[in-house]
Amino acid sequence: MTSHPDGPVGGSRPRPIIHLSHEQDVFARGRGVQDHIADAITAFAGSMAFVYVHMLWFAGWIAVNEGMFGQSVVFDPYPFGLLTMIVSLEAIFLSTFVMVSQNRQAARDAIRADLNFEASVRSAVWSTNMGRAMGLDPEEIERQAHELMAKSRTRMEKDMKHPG
C-alpha cells in the first residue's frame, strides 16, 4: 500500500479530499500595500505611544510658542492657529484611516461568516448522512433540534427582559 497525503492508496477506500479555507488566508489575498499602510497607521493611532508622542509634541509646541526658549523661536503665537489647523487635518486623516480599517474589518467579518456558513453546511450534510447510515430518522432529529433551539431562544429572550 502506498502513502498519499490524503490517505492510504491501494487496498482501502480513498479518503475524501476536504478543502478548508482559513479566514486569514482568504483575507490576506485581498490586501495590498495601501491596506498594510492604513492598518499600520490605525494600529499606531490606537496605541499609548501615539498619546505620548502627542503629549510631548503639544507640550513642546506650546513651550516654544509661549517664548520659553526666547521670542526669536516663536513661530505660532497664542492662540496657536497653525497647531489648530495641523491637529484638525490630522483628525480628518485619522478618522479616514479608522473608517478604512472598519471597512476592512467588516469585509473580514463577512469572509469569516461565509466560511462559517460553509463549515456548518458541510457539517450538516455529513451529520445527516452519518445519521442515516446509523439508521436514525433525520426528521425526528431535526424536530428535536428545533425544540432545543426554541427553548434556548425563549430563555435568552427572558434573560434579556429580566437580567440578573
Measured between alpha carbons, how far is 56 from 63 in angstroms, rounded to an integer?
10
38 C-beta neighbours (distance < 10 Å), count: 20
pLDDT for 2: 45
Higher pLDDT, 18 or 86: 86
Residue 32 pLDDT more than 90?
no
Total count of residues recorded for the chain: 164
What does the pLDDT look like over 101-121, one tens digit per residue? 888 889 889 988 998 999 999
What does the pLDDT look like over 86-95, one tens digit per residue? 999 999 999 9
pLDDT for 16: 64
pLDDT for 105: 87
**If you average pLDDT over residues 73-90, what whole number do you get?**
97
**If you average pLDDT over residues 127-146, what whole number do you get?**
89
Enclosing H/E stretch for 40: helix 33-45
Handedness of CA 119, 125, 127, 129 (dihedral sign): negative
When the pLDDT of each residue in the chain is averaged and rounded to a whole number, the result is 86
User: What values do phi and psi take at 9, rounded to 5?
Assistant: -115, 135
Residue 4 pLDDT more than 60?
no
Measured between alpha carbons, how far is 127 from 143 in angstroms, rounded to an integer?
15
pTM of the model: 0.57
Task: Note whether 26 and 115 are within 8 A (CB).
Answer: yes
pLDDT for 138: 84
Amino acid at 101: S
Which grid cell is 40?
Answer: 499600520
